[in-house]
Amino acid sequence: MSGLPLDATAVSEPRRAHPGRRIHRSRALVPIVSTATVLTCLGLWAVATHSGWIKPLFLPPPEAILSALGQAWTSDLDGAPLGIQVRDSLLRVLGAFGLAALLGIPAGLAMGTSRIARGILDPLIEFYRPLPPLAYLPLMIIWFGIGELSKVLLIVLACFAPVALATRAGVLSASADQINAARALGASRAQVLRYVVLPAALPEILIGLRIGMGVGWTTLVAAEMVAAQAGLGQLVLNASNFLRTDVVVMGILLIGLFATLFEVGLRLLERWLVPWKGKA
């Protein structure tokens, strides 16, 4: 009997994992599964193309994409070098996205705090938001020409709506108790907006920025396919005219790569600015 533990229940009850360990393991599982998924898709791509299941005209093998990347980088393809194509696309989408954020966030804050601003802006945004950017691209070209201004404004309009509407939703989700408590303590309207409403709306604002960035890349490709001298969209369009599927796939992969990098950056920014999100 002396060899038995003092607490017999310690033997019968299984050891429970710490909640923090379970969360850490679940978070670590996501990048592992994502990496395995990407590697599986690449493996299936290589097997399907090398086995002859899919003709190179429809889907070229991975080494053909790398060869096309080298040709585009050394200017062996028609048009500008790949560095110029990437630079022009990044400048367009980043400039337009920044302008849309500078306009959309204040507009959303105004819509969420003022009924007059909501009555003015809400019908206009809700009217053009469902319209595809290609529908009003001809108007942009007629009004502003085929230069950079029309393409940038097209992307701004596409990004503006999700940013403004997400900001408005975030403002409306702010707790009325917190707002009343701040007013009871003597906070001014500007202080309530800065210290109560804006932090409460920040998670929704960041979601709107992520959505706007994705819409911006989609609109960028459409704008460059119609009126551009250089850009990834123009590169894909020119390659499709000559049935260069390898260049088309290369352009698609580059666009997806940059879009993914921006998405990861915005997620890191969200984790830094709103570390409390999802932990309640």
As a whole number of angstroms, the distance between CA 112 and CA 156 comes to 21
pLDDT bin (cut points 50, 70, 90) of residue 183 is: confident
Between 77 and 111, the more confident residue is 111
Element (H, E) at 163: helix 148-172
- What does the pLDDT read at residue 200? 82
Q: For the chain, what percent of residues have pLDDT higher than 70?
A: 86
pLDDT bin (cut points 50, 70, 90) of residue 124 is: very high
- What does the pLDDT read at residue 95? 92
As a whole number of angstroms, the distance between CA 251 and CA 217 comes to 13
- What does the pLDDT read at residue 125? 92
**14 pLDDT exceeds 70?**
no
Handedness of CA 19, 23, 24, 28 (dihedral sign): positive
**3 pLDDT exceeds 90?**
no
- What does the pLDDT read at residue 157? 92
Tens-place pLDDT, residues 82-92? 888 888 889 99
**105 pLDDT exceeds 90?**
yes
Tens-place pLDDT, residues 19-46? 555 555 666 677 788 888 888 988 888 8
Q: Give domain 62-273's CATH number out of 2.60.120.430, 1.10.3720.10, 1.20.140.10, 3.90.1150.10.
A: 1.10.3720.10
**10 pLDDT exceeds 50?**
no
30-34 contacts: CB < 8 A, separation 24 or more? none
The 10 Å CB-count burial string (b at 16+, else e) for 174-199 is: beeeebeebeeeebeeeebbeebbbe
| 2's tokens | 């002396």
> Where is average pLDDT lowest: 64-68, 73-77, 238-242, 248-252?
73-77
Tens-place pLDDT, residues 187-237? 777 787 778 888 888 889 999 999 999 899 888 888 887 767 778 888 888
As a whole number of angstroms, the distance between CA 34 and CA 106 comes to 36
Instruction: Report the chain's mean pLDDT, rounded to a whole number.
Output: 82
- What does the pLDDT read at residue 28? 67
pTM comes to: 0.78
- What does the pLDDT read at residue 161? 93
Structural domain spans, the chain:
17-50, 62-273
